[in-house]
Amino acid sequence: MFSNALNAVLTLLLIGVVGFLMHRAGWIDDRVEDFLTKAVLKVFVPISLFNNALKYVTADFFRSASLAVPAVIIFACFGAGILAMKLTGVQKGTRGIFLTLFSCSNTLFVGLPVCSYFFGEIAVPYISMYYMCNTILFWVIGVTLIAADGGEPLRPNLQVVIRLVKSPITAFLIGCVVKLMGLSLPTFLSDALSSLGSLGTPLSTILIGAIVGGVGLGELTKLSRQSAAALLGRFVVCPAIALLCCRLFQLPALVSGVFVMMTAMPMMNQALIMARQYRSDVRFASQCHPVSMLLTPVVIPVVAVVIGLVFPL
């Protein structure tokens, strides 16, 4: 039912409200936010990505010509984001988070249930393809750009390499290797990792709610031209790019529909957390991310209709 897709969005919003109220009640102060940031980025998200690699990655991924298309789509979205950034006059210190929010989508917690509802379980391999490309490019490109907002150099250097190696994407890549080698984990270890990984999304969302609580709900009603551009890019420009790429590469209707729908998902949770971690423009991210979640229930049906018209199954 469509309610399954809607529930994914409403669940995130409700968990975020809990974090917001905990901040307002004084339970989550700066020290607790620092702890949650470290716990999420260094423990729970890496374990979650490792688990997802074991669950969704298959050898067929790397033999499929379709695998390259999500990467092309996301690179094109970054290119469109650069153009939008220049047209709207995004200031230094906000450019990295702007481009990342514009280009990268919430592919797992929202994208998986939404696409599974619309396309069925047969779509899971293609959902996973987009998820893998989106995840890798977020941690390699998006986080590098966000770190540049905080003053780190954009050019490749040893510090950038070390940060990438220490980032959660390493856990995802290790999970891919384990899965492709056909290795199986002991039951106790698998169960422990599953339990820990399941905490990644709720704790991330609580932290986001707390960050929004620190900024204030009033900021959500003060969307700037740049914030509007990021939201327009996320929900209109990027899906249009995906549609054009799918037509250009002449992908099957099912694959095309999945890629377009995944591109139309809301902004990534981790982007806001990384903005706080690297002292990017947290206020800007706190404006855009919650609004993208609120708009998702409206956007999904519209995108579904467009997909049905352009790529009839």
Look at residue 295 in the predicted model and tell me its pLDDT: 86
Q: Collapse the DSSP code of 307 into the 3-class scheme (helix H, G, I; strand E, B; otherwise coil) and give the result.
A: helix
Report the range of poorest mean pLDDT among 235-239, 247-251, 298-302: 298-302
Please name the residues in contact with 176: beta carbons below 8 A apart, sequence gap of 6 or more: 53, 57
> Does 188 score more than 50 pLDDT?
yes
Mean of the pLDDT values across residues 150-174? 76
CATH fit for domain 2-310, picks 3.40.50.2000, 3.10.20.30, 3.20.20.140, 1.20.1530.20: 1.20.1530.20
Between the two ends of the chain, the Cα-to-Cα distance in Å is 18
Report the range of poorest mean pLDDT among 48-52, 56-60, 130-134: 56-60
Residue that wins the pLDDT comparison between 132 and 264: 264
Mean of the pLDDT values across residues 146-158? 80
- Give the model confidence (pLDDT) of 3-15 as tens digits: 555 676 778 788 8
> Does 41 score more than 50 pLDDT?
yes
Judge residue 189's burial from the number of C-beta atoms within 10 Å of its C-beta, 0-12 exposed, 13-18 middle, 19 or more buried: exposed
Look at residue 1 in the predicted model and tell me its pLDDT: 42
How many Å apart are CA 28 and CA 220, to the nearest integer?
20
- Whole-angstrom CA distances from 294 to 14, 151, 288 are 11, 31, 10
Q: Count CB-CB contacts under 10 A for residue 155.
A: 6
How many Å apart are CA 131 and CA 136, to the nearest integer?
9
Please name the residues in contact with 122: beta carbons below 8 A apart, sequence gap of 6 or more: 254
How many Å apart are CA 228 and CA 158, to the nearest integer?
36
The sign one gets for the Cα dihedral 91, 71, 179, 161 is negative
**Mean pLDDT over all residues of the chain?**
87
Name residue, tokens 């080698």.
181
Mean of the pLDDT values across residues 197-222? 80
SS3 sequence, 82-125?
Answer: HHHHHHHCCCCCCHHHHHHHHHCECCCCCHHHHHHHHHCHHHHH
Which span out of 69-78, 182-191, 210-219 was modeled with the highest average pLDDT?
Answer: 69-78
Look at residue 94 in the predicted model and tell me its pLDDT: 96
Residue that wins the pLDDT comparison between 127 and 1: 127
- Give the model confidence (pLDDT) of 163-184 as tens digits: 777 777 788 889 989 998 989 9
The domain ranges of the chain are: 2-310
Report the range of poorest mean pLDDT among 23-37, 59-73, 189-203: 59-73
Share of the chain above pLDDT 70, in %: 94
Judge whether 289 and 246 are in contact, CB under 8 Å.
Answer: no
> Does 294 score more than 70 pLDDT?
yes
Share in percent of the chain as helix, strand, coil (round to 5): 80, 0, 20
Q: Give the H/E segment covering residue 144.
A: helix 143-149
